[in-house]
Each structure stands twice: as C-alpha cells, then as structure tokens.
Structure 1
C-alpha cells in the first residue's frame, strides 16, 4: 500500500481541511444523511465536458463563498471517504481485468459468435468497467491532494477537482501495469496536466496558449524565488537570462497576464462612476465636428445665394455639395450643353466672387 499517500490524504483529514474553508453550519444539518452522488467514472463516460463541470451552486474561490452549502462538499466527501487505497497487487489485478474487458469488447463486435460466448464476453466487459471505476474511485483523494496546490489561480476548488478527475480517468485508461510503476505515480502526471490545461484555457478572460501559460508559471515562480533571495523584483533581462528566452518575450507575457478591468467596475471616491463612462465611443460622430460642419454648410449656403444660379449649380455639381459626388468639367458641360473649357471658366469666376464676398464679410474660411 502506498503509505505516503495514506498518511497524507486520509478522508478525515481532507474533510477537516475542506470544512475549515466553509462558513459554519448547524451540526444537525451537517450530519444529515444524504444520497451518494454518481461516480466520477460514470460521469466521464458522458464526455469531458460533463466531467469538467462543477455541480451547482458553483463556488467563487477556494473558500467556496457564501453561496455554497455544505451539501456539495458532503456529497463529494461521502462519495470517496470510504474508498480504501489499493495495494500494488490490487492495482495489477484490476488493470488486468480492465485489459481483459477491452479485449472482450472488441470480440463482441464480431458477428459470428454464439449466444453463450456473447454472454461470457459481456460479463468480462462489465467486470472491466467495474474495475475501471474502482481504480478511479480509490484514487480520487489523490486528485484533491494535487488540486490543493493550484488554488487561487483562477478556478474554484471544485472545478480544479473535476478537471483533475478527468486526468485521473485518462490515466486509468492509459495505465500499463507491465511497466512496474504504481498507478498513483503514473496518474499524478495526468492529473497535473489536466488541471494546468484547464487553468490555461478557462482561468483567463483572454485565453493564452498552453505553452505560454506554462512559461508564465515559470516566470511567476522565478520572480517569487528571486524576491525571497534578493529582496527585490528581477528585471526582464534577468528573467530572460535564467529562462533563456528574449527579454521582449518576458515583457509580452507579463503584459498578457494582466487581468482585464471590467467596464462596470466602480471608480472614484464615492464609487458612483464606472470605468466605461470614460471611454470614447469611436462609432459616434464628434459633436464639435458636427457643429463645425453645420456652420460651414450654413455660411457656404449664404455665399452661394449671392452667385448667379448657373454658377452656383456648377459649384454644387463640381464639389458634390448636393449628393457628395464630384463631377468633371466634361460631365458638367454635357449637362449644360457647354464645353469643358467654358465650365472651367465659369467655375473660376464663381470662386473669385465667393472669395470677394468672403473678404467683405470678414470671414477666414476660403
């Protein structure tokens, strides 16, 4: 038997540690008998998505928050507290039973088997599934032990446990007893990988790729160690030298790791203002520009009224004052039955008249 795990992760100790993080509840309420929850192995048969979802209500952090009743913890602990750890021989026997069940499942797909053979193979498949479930349930306390090391990193504790359970199930399916390793040693790697991948994919509003998330973990760990030994924060160049990466990559990762500020977050001494109130709406027109355009249109309209109708029309067509479409001298000439040169002359005369009228009014626009 794995004594190291037994001493460190007994059900009573785990239950005590979890209960210390919960708000106090009535003694009668805690000791009330409750039905056992479904096994993790059965939940995993419905896919990773169902296995990775915490039962409601969901806690907000390790302390589980005020919205989480003791029922959730009691149901989970009640599901694993009576599961004894497996010895090395039991692990091998169960793994062999699982392997036999898989072989039987493949044979069941064949068409030319008798009814008696089909019944025998079905029993072997069921025995393999039961062995698989027993291995999973007997090692669920290992998941809790590992999940505790990843608290306060963006996912609540129950979600960490569920993600670790997914890794435990994968380890059960991939475990090769012939290699001579204990199952807990092999499963630890898969549990950690499942938890760290979940943290990389779900703990941030803006997702970082898994390999960048792993690098960020190394950076943060190195910064903590550096601060303890040197009594100061390391520079990007010092971090880059130790990790053997460019300093620009360190700077980019540290910026990318910053949490976004919600636009609804209160701001100010009385917290009566939100950050979103200070952001510019780039899709809305600038009021100052609208006012200037309206004034320009009004003044330009007054100037055009002083021109002969034909010259005013030529300027409006030439510069698209009506429909925003600029027209050539040739196009305007075809409209008026004049040559392009004559249209150019009329435009020149009209602009001179506008400049003169503009100077008389004392404007400084043209």
Structure 2
C-alpha cells in the first residue's frame, strides 16, 4: 500500500505492530522453600560416632571408594531365608558383611556425617554459601546410602531373633516393625572401635527390646484382666512378670542366668525366689525367705536390692540392661 507524502500512516492494531514484553514472574514460594530447606539443613541434628581416623587423608579416599563400590554392587541372587515369604525374603537380598567390609562401611557412614557437620560449622548466618550447602547435602545423602546398605545386610538378623518370640499373643508382623526400628537405632549407635561385631551388638539390642515389648504387653494384659477380676489384683502386686508365656520366660532366663551366676549363693536364692527365675515357678515373700535363711525380713529386702543393683550394673556393661529391667521391676 502506497502512502502520499505528508499523509499520516494508518493506525494498526497494537497486536500487529507491538511486541508486549511481559515481566518475568517471581516465585516467592520457591524462595521460601529454598530458605526452609536451608534452615532445616542447618538445624537438623547430625548424629554420628566419632573416631580419631576421621582426620586422616586416607579416610577421604576410603569414603570415595566405598561409595563407588556400592554403586556397582549387585544384589545377592541366592542364599535367602527359606522360612520367609517372598516379599520378606527379598529384604534379605543384600549379602552379609564380612568384618573388614562391615568396619569400612560404618566408618564411611560416620565420616560422611562428621564431614557434613564440620562443613556446617563453616557457614555464617549472613552468607548463603550455596556450594557448601550442596556439599553438606551430598554428604548426608551418601551417608544415608551407606546406612541403608548396612541395614539391608543385617535385616535377616531381625528375622532370626523375632521368630523365636512369635506366639498367638505376638504376631511376626507386630514384632518385625519393632525389630527393624531397633536395628536402625543400633546402626546409628554402633562404634567399630569397641572391637566386636555389629551382629553381636544388634542381637543384644533386638533381643532385649523384644523381651521388653513382650513383658510390657503381658503386664498390660494382666492389668486388663485384673480390672475384670479383682482376685487377680494381688498377683499383680508381686514383681514377677505376670502372664508371661512359658516360651518367652525361658528365653529371658537363658540370658538372665548368665548374669545371676555371678552373684553369691544367698543372693542367687533370694533373687530367684522373689522373681520366679530358673526352676522357681512361684514367688516367695520376704518373710518366707527370712524364715528359711534365719535372718530378718528387712535383711532379705536389703540383700535383694543389692543383688538387683549388681545385675543392672553388669547388664549395663554388656548393653542388655533393657532385658533385665522388665523382669526385675
């Protein structure tokens, strides 16, 4: 179209002649999410078991090699527990750890947490330090990867312990959830520098926690029965774990008897008689024992208290105090 000189150009629709530049949207929610994530990363406690080896340069190399090995490791094809259904047996697909590998994995996991903590201490509140935050998050993610591998490699230990306690009152699934939780806590607390295998430490922890759960459950059932039948109330006043089934009580005795053998003969008699341990299937009063031993009732009470304190101290040394407490309370 031609336009005469001096004539005004015809108006065109704005959409045909102008490119409207829209302002770039801001995402305050993203900023808030990033700030929240940063705050969480800085405030969440990092639990780890410290070691003098963390200061060594070799620890950095070991951590890198361990993570590389985990990335290329294949799951176990066979050697799965035959007594478990398929969905549970698959939880045991990870190979068992030999002592050197176990030690290396635990040290790597704790070193990564230690390094994350050290890096976190370098961050100042007035500086974002995004690269440092990314390194901390990577350390924690890698530590979690190692931790999960240790848990999977020891899951079959939970199965082997709790299956001994299964009965009509305590199902396998009920005990399994507590057993797995105890295993996870044991992984977080285990110290390789103490010189024994993790399986020893975890076995004690799982066994004692399972026994405590069963004892507490039996006491609760007994209280419920007592509320329906006042005649049962008197038996609940005694320190014996009322209502505990024969199988569970035998398993408790196997562990307790090893500790009780360290007491002198009089203390053993009092403790077994008062708490129905070993061959004693009924509890005896302080007066019964006083008549039998030819001492005062108060003296029997003192001897029992002393014996219980000894057992608890010895149990604490062996990390099985949770097993003793439910029986002797």
- TM-score normalised to structure 2 length: 0.44
Which structure has the larger Rg?
Answer: 1
